[in-house]
Amino acid sequence: MAENILAGLKQSILDFDEDVALELAKKSLAEGVDPVEAVGALAEGLNELGEKFERMEVFLPEIMLASDAFKNALSVLEPEIKKKNSEGKKAIPIVIGTVQGDIHQVGKDMVATFLATAGFEVYDLGVDVAPSRFLEEARRLGAKVIAAASLMSTTRPVQKDLIEFLEAKGVRDEFIVLVGGGVVTQDWANEIKADGYGQDAIATVELAKKLLHVA
């Protein structure tokens, strides 16, 4: 039964079906399916669509519909995951956003979700986020980690601008800066002196844990 539910969750994303995604998310909890596994199945669907998008087999409107289906299911699953992860531990705050000039959000949303399910306190700044806002919100929220996504080659340089902005303000050493996104590579992260590069949502979570010395 659990395998059928997980397969259905993935398919609901591929079908852009918000209602089925929500229904199966509720059913997964009722049937005792691990909510983290349920989110993983949804993420598999998003990853597959992302690959199709790169091959121009699907387009942005369909990606947005899939994102809505993902969020529908997540509204049910995320509270349960947070309950499991609470256990009296104070969550480490992380700010995340898509850089200025870039309005893509699906990949960033997935990373934010996986960070939240791993027990971090995630503050999603949305899209088109300027370097100054990353710093302002990180300071306001007491976050030591800034995760900046770029999904377009024309906006990738803004990740470099962010790091240079922190350097100019004399606060670079106060923050761990993680970069990621479809156009980002480890070589680019090294070039701009980011603290880490997350190839995908799962890799980003593991990287954040490693850099913050979280078990």
Q: How far apart are CA 194 and CA 188, in angstroms?
A: 9
Q: Which residues of 17-48 are buried (b: 16+ CB within 10 A; e: fewer)?
A: bbebbbbbbebbbeeebbbeebbbbbbbbbbe
Give the CATH fold of the 2-86 domain: 1.10.1240
Is 195 in contact with 162 (CB distance < 8 Å)? no
Residues of the chain with CATH 1.10.1240.10: 2-86
- The CATH homologous superfamily for domain 93-212 is Cobalamin-binding domain (3.40.50.280)
**Predicted confidence (pLDDT) per residue in 59-83, tens digit:** 878 888 888 898 899 889 888 877 7
Q: What is the pTM of this model?
A: 0.74
Residues of the chain with CATH 3.40.50.280: 93-212
Three-class DSSP category at 176: strand
> For residue 116, how many other CB atoms are within 10 A of its CB?
22
The contacts of residue 58 (CB under 8 Å, 6+ apart) are 49, 52
**Predicted confidence (pLDDT) per residue in 9-66, tens digit:** 999 999 999 999 999 999 999 999 998 889 889 888 887 887 787 788 988 788 888 8
